[in-house]
Structure 1
Amino acid sequence: MTIAYTWTVTGARASDVGELEDVIVEVDFVVTAAEGDTTVQTQQRVQLLPPGEDFVPFAELTPQQVIEWVKLACDAKSATRVSVIEGYLADRMQLHLQAAAAAQLAPQEKPLPWAQGG
């Protein structure tokens, strides 16, 4: 199976920047990794890059735009931060799946046949 990653905005902070009002400057987000019935996630916060000529008023933002900006800001801080976040989740997913497999193989306690009332 392939791990599917979902990026979700959970909060945002805005302020006035120069002549612009309500500029989104910081975003809280969750990245969820899912494979089959197993999911793991991490919560993060990032400061966005300063707005450019393509400024979008806060009230007109879409989740897709903000996620795109989040990923750009993450990679601006470290050229591979998006990959690092997703790699971290893939590692956690693998550990979770290994633990689940080990739990299935663990010996199960059984009642003693002579201890049962009769």
Structure 2
Amino acid sequence: MGKNNDYQALSKEFFSKVQGDPKLQELLQNYAQERIQHHPETFHSHAFGEGNYSSEQIKEAHKNVTIDDHHFESMVDHFVQALNVHGYSDEDKKKALEMLKGYKDMVLSEQL
């Protein structure tokens, strides 16, 4: 894994990127920060095969979230960029990207 497995630093980097993305501002304004604070840790655990949430739990968690394809892609891309800043290998970043994109249909399924 990366040179720096500090979730707090990774989370700070991730949220800095997300909050600086004007296309995600509307999404962020509609949800309490406490509700999304766990995302970096959840992304990390699922990206590296340690996730504890089932497909049904992921669908349920996103059921009432107005998220579209762009939001999903942006969040994943910002997470991978944060991994890059913290020294994760290209192999780890590729694995994370592939794993997280595998959740796309689950996250967006309730939006159809």
- By percentage of residues, which structure has more helix? 2
TM-score by length of 2: 0.28
Greater RCO, CA 8 A, separation 6+ = 2
Structure with the bigger percentage of strand: 1
Task: Give TM-score, length-normalised by structure 1.
Answer: 0.27
